[in-house]
């Protein structure tokens, strides 16, 4: 264990931080719920993947041999519905989106888990597990369906704190008369026409959602393993049901630590598919470097909600640029000296070179701070400030010092100090956080610049022309003009810097356009008006048995739309969360307005216009100006 500190993790089961002690010394077994592959993955998926990747990397950094399993759900209602709609085979659809997910994961520098099982490849294990549960009388058969009987499992609700009394039939959950308790959930679903199915002792069918994770974690990690992770949304019912299934099949079954990451929010409202206020990873990485996105994702503690704003991404992008520029400058300054024959750690005569006292302090502070924050339930939010910034400052100021003439021995000591501090920054911090790119520093800087140009709507030549214009203005002593050119570029996220007689540029945090653009995202493409069938698809999903425990209010949020009223010269248009909205009121995106609006007790949101408002857009497939 590094620096003799204990690794503390928050355990959702006991609701407290606990010292991490693996079942088998030196080894860690970890299972994290993966995606249901029917669409491009969004920011919530990115957050879970990046957080558990940081955990995976940190455990390895602590010296553990880690077996990390993350599944792909490739058999599921959502996949089947989407595939039917596309007229596509469900497995071809899911394999396409699994590949897209892996591309996103590669961009975000998430290491590959040890195993990435697909549900469809583990049907036999799933059937075996269901058989064990039936044999132990925790499940019952109705027609070709197999249900888990929650009443048989007294600890049901232990993880989520949900009480069974809250799920009484007809009150808060949908009624399915075939179930003994409305909270019972399907382990096996009988085959329906047009759906993939497998033979089983209970007739042809396919697994329910929850059973796959119990079966695959047991298969790869046995019934006793160290860490089970996932997004906070999964605590209930998914993880609660997993606990029930696994314990029913094997009494000794246990997960030592349940870890859950928080939501991603947008305008402080939960980002979700149903609210249609989510962003895909791809949309963001088209505009921002994936390292900037990763930096943003770890800039909050993993259990806190993380509010997505463009300003935050801009800051993260800027922070990454600064880190890589510092490392590049350091490499540039050291390269000729190392070429001169300086060997790391020793001078030409083989004499050991000592690093400066300041460098020693800088390194020990950096390492101590890193370990103590990471040991405290992965407090990544506080790592990229403090000692980390001090180390970057040390590199930059030493680079300036290096340019001055000085004694050979002193210079050697400074060079060695730079080598060691840089190594601590890259290998001890950036690598463990997954922020160390496999590309060279200069490649990353170029990529960051290319993204900045795209955001500014420019190509590099435009910037160079502006630099020339500014140079001429300065020569003509037209300083108002030269300031204006510089200020205009800064607003667009392009900073000009005069270095000697030369002017260079680098990306910077954009100013004014951000506010406007936050309203603009998600992109037009993302906000495509979805066909009515898809609305139906969502309606059906909310009544799926997995979502039984949803409060009735949510189930009722099926609209009375179109619903327009005229009141005091204003026209009021109501939407619910499932309406697909695209368009503008004056210059503001309607979906942005709707997301910000207050919701009434029926889940309806109301938007008001007057005759002077310029309205253009669609709700579902109906023109909105036509409606009002």
User: Nearer to Zn ion by C-beta: 66 or 213?
Assistant: 213
Minimum distance of Zn ion from residue 238's CB (angstroms): 6
Q: Does 259 bind Zn ion (CB under 5 A)?
A: no
- Contact indicator for 433, 380 with CB cutoff of 8 Å: yes
DSSP codes, 79-96? HHHHHHHHT--HHHHHHH
Residue 33 or 264: the one with the smaller Cβ distance to Zn ion is 33
How many residues are recorded in the chain? 628
**Whole-number Å distance between alpha carbons of 580 and 276:** 8
Indicate the residue among 81 and 216 with the shorter CB distance to Zn ion: 216
Q: For residue 297, how many C-alpha atoms fall within 13 Å in the half-sphere facing its CB? A: 31
Identity of the residue, 213 or 320, whose beta carbon is nearer to Zn ion in the bound complex = 213
Judged by beta carbon, residue 22 or residue 230, the one nearer Zn ion is 230
Question: Closest approach of Cβ 544 to Zn ion, in Å?
Answer: 16
Complex with Zn ion: residue 231 or 522, whichever CB lies closer: 231
Q: How many other C-beta atoms lie within 10 A of the C-beta of residue 513?
A: 16
Instruction: Give the pairing of strands 581-585 and 588-589.
Output: antiparallel
Smallest separation (angstroms) from Zn ion to the CB of 29: 15
Are the C-beta atoms of 280 and 40 separated by less than 8 Å?
Answer: yes
Using CB under 5 A as the binding criterion, the count of chain residues that bind Zn ion stands at 2
| Nearest-approach distance from CB 240 to Zn ion, in angstroms | 11
> Coil, strand or helix: which one is 514?
helix
How near is the Cβ of 237 to Zn ion at its closest, in Å?
11
- Residue 9 touches Zn ion, criterion: CB under 5 A: no
User: Whole-number minimum distance, CB 486 to Zn ion, in Å?
Assistant: 52
Which of these ranges, 211-219, 297-305, 386-394, 408-416, lies near Zn ion under the rule CB under 5 A? 211-219
Residues 6+ apart with CB under 8 A from 380: 54, 298, 299, 301, 302, 373, 374, 433
Cβ nearer to Zn ion, comparing 34 with 182: 34
Sketch the per residue contact string, 31 through 50, with Zn ion: x for CB under 5 A, - otherwise: --x-----------------
**Residues 118-177 within binding reach of Zn ion (CB under 5 A):** none
- Residues facing residue 17 across a β-bridge: 10
Backbone torsions φ then ψ of 504, nearest 5 degrees: -120, 170
**Position 213 contacts Zn ion (CB under 5 A):** yes
DSSP secondary structure, 216-279, as one string: HHHHHH-SEEEEEEEEGGGIIIIIHHHHHHHHHH-TT-EEEEEEEE--EEETTEE--TTTT---
**Least distance in angstroms from the C-beta of 70 to Zn ion:** 10
| Nearest to Zn ion of 76, 371 (CB atom) | 76
Chain positions 286 to 305 lying near Zn ion, rule: CB under 5 A, are none
The answer to the question of residue 110 lying near Zn ion (CB under 5 A) is no
Which of 8-16, 206-214, 264-272, 606-614 is the region at the interface with Zn ion (rule: CB under 5 A)?
206-214
Are 518 and 284 contacting, i.e. CB atoms less than 8 angstroms apart?
Answer: no
Closer by beta carbon to Zn ion, 159 or else 604: 159
Q: Which two tokens stand for residue 513?
A: 């356009």
Q: Which residues bind Zn ion (CB under 5 A)?
A: 33, 213
């Amino acid at each position: 264990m590094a620096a003799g500190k204990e690794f503390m993790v928050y355990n959702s089961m006991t609701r407290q931080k606990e010292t991490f002690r693996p079942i088998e010394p030196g080894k860690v077994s970890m299972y994290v719920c993966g995606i249901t592959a029917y669409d491009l993955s969004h920011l919530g998926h990115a957050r879970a993947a990046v957080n558990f990747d940081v955990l995976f990397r940190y455990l390895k950094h602590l010296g553990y041999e880690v077996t990390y399993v993350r599944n792909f759900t490739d058999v599921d209602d959502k996949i089947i519905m989407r595939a039917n709609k596309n007229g596509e085979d469900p497995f071809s659809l899911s394999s396409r989106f699994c590949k897209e997910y892996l591309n996103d994961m590669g961009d975000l520098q998430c290491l590959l888990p040890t195993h990435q099982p697909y549900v469809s490849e583990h049907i036999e294990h799933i059937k075996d597990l269901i058989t064990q549960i039936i044999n132990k009388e925790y499940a019952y058969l109705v027609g070709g369906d197999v249900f888990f009987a929650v009443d048989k499992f007294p600890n049901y609700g232990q993880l989520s704190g949900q009480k069974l009394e809250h799920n009484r039939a007809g009150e808060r959950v949908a009624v399915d008369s075939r179930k003994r308790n409305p909270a019972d959930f399907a382990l096996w679903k009988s085959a329906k026409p047009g759906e993939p199915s497998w033979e089983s002792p209970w007739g042809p069918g396919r697994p329910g959602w929850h059973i796959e994770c119990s079966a695959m974690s047991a298969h790869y990690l046995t019934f006793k393993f160290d860490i089970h992770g996932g997004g906070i949304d999964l605590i209930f019912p998914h993880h609660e049901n997993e606990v029930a299934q696994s314990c029913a099949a094997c009494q000794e079954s246990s997960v030592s630590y349940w870890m859950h990451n928080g939501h991603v929010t947008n305008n402080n409202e939960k980002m979700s598919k149903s609210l249609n206020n989510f962003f895909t990873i791809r949309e963001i990485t088209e505009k921002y470097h994936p390292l900037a996105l990763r930096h943003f994702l770890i800039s909050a503690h993993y259990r806190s909600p993380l509010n997505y704003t463009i300003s935050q991404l801009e800051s993260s992008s800027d922070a990454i640029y600064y880190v890589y520029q510092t490392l590049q400058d350091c490499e540039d300054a050291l390269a000729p000296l190392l070429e001169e024959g300086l060997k790391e750690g020793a001078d030409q005569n083989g004499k050991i070179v000592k690093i400066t006292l300041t460098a020693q302090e800088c390194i020990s502070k950096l390492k101590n701070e890193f370990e103590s924050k990471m040991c405290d339930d992965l407090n990544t939010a506080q790592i990229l400030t403090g000692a980390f910034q001090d180390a970057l400052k040390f590199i930059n100021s030493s680079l300036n010092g290096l340019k001055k003439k000085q004694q050979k021995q002193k210079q050697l000591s400074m060079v060695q100090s730079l080598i060691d501090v840089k190594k601590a920054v890259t290998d001890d911090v950036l690598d463990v956080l997954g922020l160390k790119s496999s590309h060279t520093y200069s490649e990353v800087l170029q990529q960051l610049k290319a993204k900045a140009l795209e955001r500014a709507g420019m190509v590099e030549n435009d910037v160079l022309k502006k630099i020339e214009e500014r140079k001429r203005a300065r020569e003509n002593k037209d300083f108002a003009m030269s300031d204006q050119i510089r200020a205009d570029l800064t607003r667009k996220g392009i900073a000009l810097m005069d270095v000697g007689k030369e002017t260079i540029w680098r990306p910077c945090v954009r100013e004014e356009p951000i506010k406007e653009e936050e309203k603009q995202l998600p992109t037009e493409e993302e906000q495509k008006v979805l066909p009515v069938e898809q609305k139906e698809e969502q309606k059906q999903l909310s009544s799926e048995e997995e979502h039984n425990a949803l409060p009735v209010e949510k189930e009722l949020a099926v609209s009375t739309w179109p619903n327009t009223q005229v009141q005091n010269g204003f026209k009021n248009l109501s939407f619910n969360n499932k309406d697909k909205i695209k368009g503008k009121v004056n210059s503001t995106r309607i979906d942005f307005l709707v997301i910000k609006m207050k919701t009434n007790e029926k889940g309806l949101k109301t938007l008001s216009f007057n005759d002077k408002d310029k309205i253009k857009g669609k709700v579902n497939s109906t023109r909105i100006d036509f409606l009002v």
